[in-house]
Amino acid sequence: MTETPLLSIPYSNQSENKSNSTACPDLDNWWEIVYYLVPKCIDIVCITGILGNLLVLFVYLMHKSPLKISETYLVNLAVADLIFLVCLPFWAENIRNEYNWPFGNFLCRSASASIHLNMYTSIYLLVAVSLDRYLTFVHTLTHRRIRTKATAKGICLLTWIFGILLSVPTFMFRNVKHLPELNISACVLDFPTPSWTMANRLIFNIVGFAVPSTVIIVFNFHTIRSLQEHTKEQRAFRTKCCKDLRDTKAARSIFLVVLMFLVCWTPYHLVTFLDILFQMKLIQGCFWEDFLNFGEQFSSTLALTSSCINPIIYVFAGKYFRQKALEVFSQFFCCGRFLSQVSFQENLTNILLYWKNSVYL
């Protein structure tokens, strides 16, 4: 990893970080596994994710009812995932090519920037979703003045602008650069000074994960506790409100989306933090070099899967989404079947009338 993580190339065994002034052991056989396995995983994530997120957008946008506030955030999340997934095949091919970038400078910049855009946009959309659930279940009586569709759209717009601004350095400083020590022309972040590199890593780790993850965990903790207290009250009075039950089930699918995002991204950002310590020479040696090399490759692959998991959660855990999907597809298939039946009946009636008239003639 000679740059900001997620689109990183391996440390060279010829690097200055040696263990006891000796070169690190050759792990070419392990890298052959990376070059073979990781691109295949990315291809599976890409195909599954594109189909799943297109399904999500199709159902939400084609349904006759307007989007709910939480669904506005989820639609924007699906769009961010789609932008990200469309750019993944370039990176998969780059890994197959042993990090020798074959697509030129523009795609190096745009593909890298779009991946960072997705990361920042997705996690802050999940912050917005967590805040929305918090206002709904914890501040039920006062949330209506704050929780509006116009507010949700404004938050989504600000999130996209924020993500774009944080992705600008990636677009500006990504270049295809020849690396003699690895004998490749790689798509790397080429900052003017080492201080820029360290600042970018810290922003990536703190602004891109640590702060929003803490906010997400706090909001969801209070929301879950409020739901548990409300459930206890209902059991005490032996009452069960259908609306509360539906809201609770809808909240579960959103909690799963948040949980899976954190599960997928936490290992990767932990490796990123260790990489910062490695660059600062607080941890050194061949063990850490190899651990960070391979840990980054596989933790980043796990992080990529978050973009295709969300549609699966909607289908299997989201009852509202399944109902909407059934209604949308029933409109198309049932209407089509109905029209074909009508046309068949009309044709049959015309044939019978023609036969009847011909007999009388």
- Tell me the whole-structure pTM to 2 decimals: 0.79
Q: Which residue has the higher pLDDT, 281 or 44?
A: 44
Q: How far apart are CA 339 and CA 333, in angstroms?
A: 10
| 202 contact partners, CB below 8 Å, separation of at least 6 | 276
Helix (H, G, I), strand (E, B) or coil at 344: helix
Q: Look-up: residue for tokens 């599976």?
A: 44
**Picking from 152-156, 233-237, 242-246, 280-284, which range would have the lowest pLDDT averaged per residue?**
242-246
Q: Which residue has the higher pLDDT, 33 or 144?
A: 33
**Per-residue model confidence (pLDDT) at position 80:** 92
pLDDT at residue 327 tops 80? yes
Question: Does 360 reside within a domain?
Answer: no
**Picking from 44-48, 213-217, 226-230, 328-332, which range would have the lowest pLDDT averaged per residue?**
226-230
Q: How far apart are CA 299 and CA 171, in angstroms?
A: 23
DSSP code string of 9-48: -PPPTTSS--BTTBPPPP-HHHHHHHHHHHHHHHHHHHHH
Question: Does 19 reside within a domain?
Answer: no
**Per-residue model confidence (pLDDT) at position 316:** 67
Question: Does 204 reside within a domain?
Answer: yes
Q: Look-up: residue for tokens 């750019």?
A: 87
Mean pLDDT of 60-67: 88
Question: Does 20 reside within a domain?
Answer: no
Count of structural domains, the chain: 1
For residue 207, count other CB atoms closer than 10 A to its CB.
Answer: 15
Mean pLDDT of 345-359: 43
pLDDT at residue 231 tops 50? yes
pLDDT at residue 355 tops 60? no
Q: How far apart are CA 134 and CA 140, in angstroms?
A: 9
pLDDT at residue 221 tops 60? yes
H/E stretch holding 308 reads helix 306-317
Question: Does 100 reside within a domain?
Answer: yes
Q: How far apart are CA 3 and CA 58, in angstroms?
A: 38
| 201 within 8 A of 4, measured Cβ to Cβ | yes
Q: Look-up: residue for tokens 């003699």?
A: 180
**Picking from 61-75, 114-128, 131-145, 278-292, which range would have the lowest pLDDT averaged per residue?**
131-145
**Per-residue model confidence (pLDDT) at position 142:** 64
Q: What is the pLDDT of the chain when averaged over all its residues?
A: 79
Between the CA of residue 161 and those of 73, 117, 124, 164, what are the distances in Å? 15, 10, 11, 5
Containing structural domain, residue 142? 28-338
Summarised one tens digit per residue, pLDDT across range 6-16 is 556 665 543 44
**Per-residue model confidence (pLDDT) at position 156:** 95
- How would residue 343 be classed by pLDDT, with cut points 50, 70 and 90? very low
User: Which CATH number fits the domain that encloses residue 245?
Assistant: 1.20.1070.10
Mean pLDDT of 126-130: 89
